[in-house]
Chain A
């Protein structure tokens, strides 16, 4: 069997993997390898032909492909090695087993490993939609790939379940290609997509957004013939009598993403049941020493810019770990408190020589809220969140040294103050 050795191996060549590899090389890591299962780098960005990427990190609004190209072009200027068409089939601490058509089975020894496998879409099975099983029911990302990369039109009359950004983007894209998008149904009383996408993808084309609605039946035997939508109550139960039938040949699902962690689990990496991704500390180190993780494999991001930034932090962590510069005298958990869905990192390794970026999501939309980080009774940091939405990740930076003398656990909570409106 072929056996090769690298100081750092990045699994996945999407936005997280690209940024992690580049940063590691920049920080002086001599031999870096990216392992990518697709035939090219860029990951999901290659099918995201719409614009809106890079505004925060690169200062210009790019399409997904342009954003990927920016990093791919940078990579071409380095000696970072890339194996495409290469599938990792087993992961153990320090050892990757992969396969590709040129070399067959391959063992890759790695000083440090950065997990950057991204996520995949929740499917019909994951949300248990009742009804028959005709063709024409697919995830929004599948439709995106068919239309934008393979030149295939998924259908002519479309209903979209879920108001995630990919679903909204596809509503516009399909309309421009001549399909009729009948409606976007969203189970929650608020949209899980960005406001800009609701305005420019739905309002622009008079596509109705039905909040507190879901699909209660799927009709058709060979091909989808229609769906029944119904309004739901506060407990998400369909309200009898509110059903309406919409004829359509395609149902797109935009109902969330799941971090892809089968490999992580093989290596013994502990996962967070809320995010579905590895438990990490501020260096993005998982519970297995020497295995780091970044991007959507850790938690689902709404902006690719944040994926790239997190990847850079993971790479920095991995480089320092290789130099034995990460001290872990003590690890304390960071809990999601009132109003907070989850916080990443979930743990902080002490001592803390640098500032720490906490990323979190609120549970529901809030106006005039304040995020507070507490250590028992003591407030460690706080930040005003004038308009917090679950769809938009919030960020709070713990200054250098702010955790000195800190206790056994930190908690992040977000409270709405009605008087601060």
Chain B
């Protein structure tokens, strides 16, 4: 059995999920949306991953990035490994694809800010 806090509305129901004869049984939710939420969290939880990659020739050493879409929760660690090996060169535009098909998830890693190239002083 697993228990989840539903975050769909502020009521924050604790929804219990049990497997009974290959079927999922739900308990504790006060509306249908809670069941949908708990089913997804139980079977295939996904998250947007946000992080940073190393930036060269920029005014800052890092560029913030995100996955363009949510990725499976179980893949977060693999994604982080790949993210940690990336170096990108400034300038970068917000939304620019930094890594295609991050850790074979089928999801791209994109830049979440624009940043100029470092010239004299700051840019």
Contact = CB atoms under 8 A, between A and B. Distances in A.
A149 B60 contact: yes
B98 to A, nearest CB: 13
Interface string A190-209: 00000110111001100000
Contacts of B54: 151
Nearest to B3: A203
B11 A387 contact: yes
Contact of A199 (B5, B11, B94, B114): B5
B10 A392 contact: yes
A49 B10 contact: no
A51 B48 contact: yes
B93 to A, nearest CB: 9
B15 to A, nearest CB: 11
A240 interface: no
B76 A176 contact: yes
B76 to A, nearest CB: 7
Interface in A37-76: 39-40, 46, 49-51, 61-63, 65-66, 68-69, 72-73
Contacts of B59: 39
Contacts of A66: 94, 112-113
A275 interface: no
B70 to A, nearest CB: 10
A51 B50 contact: yes
A203 B5 contact: yes
Contacts of B113: 46, 65-66, 68-69
Given A63-B66, A387-B11, A49 B94 contact: no
Contacts of A196: 7
B25 interface: no
A325 interface: no
A231 interface: no
A142 to B, nearest CB: 16
Most buried by A among B59, B66, B73: B66
A49 B51 contact: yes
Interface residues of A, number: 32
Given A39-B59, A195-B5, A199-B7, A148 B114 contact: no
B120 to A, nearest CB: 13
Contact of A151 (B47, B52, B66): B52
A386 B31 CA distance: 15
B75 interface: no
Contacts of A25: none
Interface string B1-41: 00011010111100000000000000000000000000000
A389 B9 CA distance: 13
Contact of B66 (A40, A46, A51, A68): A51
A148 B52 contact: yes
Contacts of B91: none
A419 interface: no
Nearest to A39: B122
A63 B5 CA distance: 23
Contacts of A392: 10
A72 B7 CA distance: 31
A176 B80 contact: yes
B114 A69 contact: yes
B5 A50 contact: no
Contacts of A377: none
B5 A49 contact: no
B34 to A, nearest CB: 13
Nearest to A69: B94
19 contacts: A49-B64, A49-B65, A49-B112, A51-B66, A63-B66, A66-B94, A72-B114, A148-B64, A149-B62, A150-B62, A151-B52, A151-B62, A177-B80, A195-B12, A200-B7, A386-B10, A387-B10, A387-B11, A387-B12
What are the 10 A-B residue pairs with the smallest beta carbon separation, nearest first? A65-B113, A387-B10, A49-B64, A63-B112, A65-B112, A151-B61, A196-B7, A69-B94, A39-B122, A66-B112
Interface of A: 39-40, 46, 49-51, 61-63, 65-66, 68-69, 72-73, 148-151, 176-177, 195-196, 198-200, 203-204, 386-387, 389, 392
